[in-house]
Amino acid sequence: MRYAAVRLARAIGYLSAGTVEYLYDPARAEFYFLEMNTRLQVEHPVTEAITGIALVEWQLRIARGEALDLVQEDVSFDGHAIEVRIAAENPAENFRPETGTITLWAPPGTVRLDSGVEEGSVVGHHYDSMLAKLIVHGADRDEAIRQAVAALDDFAVGGVGVNLAFQRALITHADFVAVAHYTASLAEMFPCGWTAPVPEDETRALAALALHLHLAPKPDTPWQSLGAWRLTEAAGRPAAAYYSSDDADAPIRVVGRGARLKVIMPDGTALGVEVARLAARRLIGRMDGAPFARRAHVLRSGERWQVHLSAPAGMTMVPLRTLEDRHLQRASGAAGGADTLRAPMPGAVVEIRVAPASG
């Protein structure tokens, strides 16, 4: 492929940066020319990773009048690289674009990340939805996939929906691992469409615990260290706090105080928690005697809380509301009514099929 690309560029006398694309048939070990773009494309970090050549830097240096200090024979490939595009979109709803303000931006610090956003950045609908490119480089393809999965599992974004979970499902799919690619890959890999993984009970319990610890009074003074629940709880009865998801009325209860807590799930299952601590974006402790350590990010988003927690299926966001949140939402009618219309993305009203005062 590289030899053919160089021949093509020389044949047309092209002397600048360019990208040649091919389709590869692994069954026949043959490749077919697709197109050439007279520029670097968004995937150029993959080439930079396996060649060790900073292509963008060289473009700028050549534009300044410098000469290349290498020839074609000096270019060699090392290992395998994968680029993952992080986009503000909802893959579970036909990749619907997402908009809003980024309230949490916690990328992994161990791999290359090309991005122009940060916490506080506003993602609008006027531009492409791609927010960042995550690039990994390994000795071979399997190692590159493992690095990509590990990086995605350590990546948390809040305030705007992104495709992190979908990208993880894609690169861990058996077809992708087996290099079984074709033009209808997504339709074949996810024939019923892709759906976001549902947090398992342990992750939901730990999410409620993380929020509980986040909201717990900090013992800066003796009055704060005593806690607020002691004024209203019945004598001899442990304090309890209630947390629920948006789609479930049955709450998760966190009972107790201090070093020993108990998380009671909606089905009545009780999980004993010891020495739990939330610090430096990590949730650690013991649950039913087994130690746990999860990456955890707790933030407020509108009328609810978001708990981003590392889980077996990757970084998972668990939406939670406190008992106070639920009462305030009901009192304000925030859920909307018959005269309220909520649109998931910006659009334009092109036709109203009703006449004034009709019906």
Beta-carbon contacts of 290 under 8 Å, excluding residues fewer than 6 positions away, are none
Phi, psi for 272 (deg, rounded to 5): -80, 135
Q: Considering all CA atoms of the chain, what is the largest pairwise distance in Å, rounded to the nearest integer?
A: 88
The Cα angle at residue 234 between residues 232 and 239, in degrees rounded to 5: 70
Q: Which pair of tokens denotes residue 354?
A: 């009703």
DSSP 8-state code for residue 198: P
Q: How far apart are CA 190 and CA 165, in angstroms?
A: 14
The answer to whether the beta carbons of residues 197 and 165 sit under 8 Å apart is: yes
Return the half-sphere exposure (C-beta side, CA atoms, 13 A cut-off) of residue 47: 16
Q: How far apart are CA 108 and CA 164, in angstroms?
A: 12
Task: Give the start-end residues of each E strand in 74-226.
Answer: 80-87, 89-90, 96-97, 100-101, 104-106, 112-115, 122-123, 130-138, 156-158
Q: Which of 21, 35, 89, 200 is catalytic?
A: 35
Count CB-CB contacts under 10 A for residue 231: 7
57 part of the active site: no
Please identify every residue annotated as catalytic.
35
